[in-house]
Amino acid sequence: MTATTHKPVLPRQQLAAKVFHWVNLISLFAMMGSGLAIYNANPVFGGRAGTDFPGWLTLGGYLAPGRHWHFFFMWVFGLNLLWYGVYVFTTRRWQNRYVSKSDLEALQKSKNAKRRNYVFHRLVYTAFIPVLLMALLTGLGMWKPVQFGWIVATFGGWQNLRTVHFLTIPTVLVLMAAHSILAVTVGQWKLVRSMFT
């Protein structure tokens, strides 16, 4: 007799969720790379003497192409967030994707490790919302500082705006790492694979 091997059954993911994750991932990394090309032309930290990022981390290589790529993927990123937000709202997916009062209570009282992992996962997923919106808001202020002068003023000036915009990069990377690690913890690698296969 020969032993039969069974492929692990992957969780089913909605096509809309898969498309959102793929487009979001591609556009975020493209904006990071092109943003670093823009940074090299005029560093946020250290003025003209600031440390440059290596060319292989950048998209566009220098200022003008970097800006073109950055603005193109800004629209892809923004529209992707908009349609997914409408989708999440109309399908009520927000009810089991984002942190709730019961999750916070479970975090305080529950001894169930799996339940707590789900709460942490939802906390990270929810934390993406203000960070990504902050990246868009500060980006709009930098793109059109006259038309969106109120954004610049809200952040206390141009340099503060650029600093906050730049700091959304490491914040998003940390959240992405936490999101991936928690997905593996909650659903093992099959949960991560299901989003991209």
User: Are 25 and 84 members of one domain?
Assistant: yes
How far is residue 51 from each of residues 46, 48, 137, 167, measured CA to CA in Å? 7, 9, 26, 16
Q: What is the Cα Rg of the chain in Å?
A: 20
User: Are 102 and 92 members of one domain?
Assistant: no
Q: What is the pLDDT of residues 77-132, one digit of tens each?
A: 999 989 888 888 888 766 666 777 777 777 777 777 777 777 787 888 888 889 98
Distance, CA of 96 to CA of 34 (rounded, Å): 34
User: Are 104 and 172 members of one domain?
Assistant: yes
User: Are 116 and 197 members of one domain?
Assistant: yes
Q: Is residue 47 part of a domain?
A: no
Q: What is the pLDDT of residues 43-59, one digit of tens each?
A: 887 666 667 889 899 99
User: Are 150 and 85 members of one domain?
Assistant: no
Residues 58 and 33: beta-carbon distance below 8 Å: yes
What is the predicted pLDDT for the residue at 189? 63
Q: Residue 7's pLDDT band (boundaries 50, 70, 90)?
A: low
Question: Nearest 5°: CA angle at 14, between 119 and 71?
Answer: 85
Burial (CB < 10 A; 0-12, 13-18, 19+), residue 141, is buried
Residues 6+ apart with CB under 8 A from 112: 106
Q: Is residue 84 part of a domain?
A: yes
User: Are 109 and 189 members of one domain?
Assistant: yes
In one letter, which amino acid is 123?
Answer: L
Q: Is residue 175 part of a domain?
A: yes
- Mean pLDDT score of the chain, rounded to an integer? 82
User: Are 174 and 82 members of one domain?
Assistant: no
User: Are 187 and 109 members of one domain?
Assistant: yes
Who wins on pLDDT, 126 or 8? 126
In the predicted structure, residue 139 carries a pLDDT above the cut 80? yes
Which helix (H) or strand (E) segment is 192 a member of?
helix 158-196
User: Are 171 and 130 members of one domain?
Assistant: yes
What is the predicted pLDDT for the residue at 95? 65
User: Are 105 and 189 members of one domain?
Assistant: yes
What is the predicted pLDDT for the residue at 119? 78
What is the predicted pLDDT for the residue at 103? 73
Q: Is residue 64 part of a domain?
A: yes
Structural domain span for residue 133? 98-197
Of residues 176, 154, 148, 152, the one with CA closest to residue 162: 152
Q: Residue 152's pLDDT band (boundaries 50, 70, 90)?
A: very high
Q: Is residue 21 part of a domain?
A: yes
Q: Is residue 137 part of a domain?
A: yes
The structural domain count of the chain equals: 2
Domain termination site, one of 61, 81, 97: 97
Q: Is residue 2 part of a domain?
A: no
User: Are 111 and 75 members of one domain?
Assistant: no
What is the predicted pLDDT for the residue at 6? 52
